Copies of this chain bind each other. A is one copy, B any other.
Amino acid sequence: MKIETVAHQYHLTTPTLRYYEQEGLLGPVRRINGIRDYQPADLERLDFIVCVKRCGMTLHQIKHFVDIYQQDPATLPERLEILQNQLQVSREKQAQLADSIDHLQDKITDVKALQTTENSVLS
C-alpha cells in the first residue's frame, strides 16, 4: 500500500508518516525505485501508534516500545509494564476529562441562565 493511501485511511498526512518513519516508529519496505510499500504488519503497528498516541503516549515512548517489541521474548515483562502503566495514566486522563466535561456543562447552564436574565431585562 502506498503512502498516500495509508495517510488517507488513517487521517494523517504523508509528511507525518515520513516523520514517524524518521523517528523510528515505522519502517515500511521499499520497492526497487525507493517507494514505500506499507504491509499489513505496518498498518497493524500504525493502529497501535494511533491508539497509544491518543492515550497520551509521546512518540519517544512509542519508539521505545516498538524497539523492544522486535527483540521479543525477554522484553515481555517490560512491555506489559509499559502498557499497564499507560492504561493507568489513560484512566486518570479519562476521569479528569469526564470531570472537566461536567464543569463545562455547568458553565453552559450558567451562560444560558444569564441569557434568559438578559432577555427578561430587555422585555
- Tell me the A residues contacting B by CB distance below 8 Å: 47-48, 51-52, 54-55, 73, 76-77, 79-80, 83-84, 86-87, 90-91, 93-94, 96-101, 103-105, 107-108, 111-112, 114-115, 118
Contacts and interface: CB of A to CB of B under 8 A. Distances in A.
Contacts of A114: 76
Contacts of A86: 104
A101 to B, nearest CB: 5
A103 B51 contact: yes
A114 to B, nearest CB: 6
B111 A87 contact: no
Given A73-B118, A76-B111, A83-B107, 18 more contacts: A47-B103, A51-B100, A51-B103, A51-B107, A54-B96, A55-B100, A77-B115, A79-B111, A80-B111, A83-B104, A83-B108, A87-B104, A90-B100, A90-B101, A90-B104, A94-B94, A94-B98, A94-B101
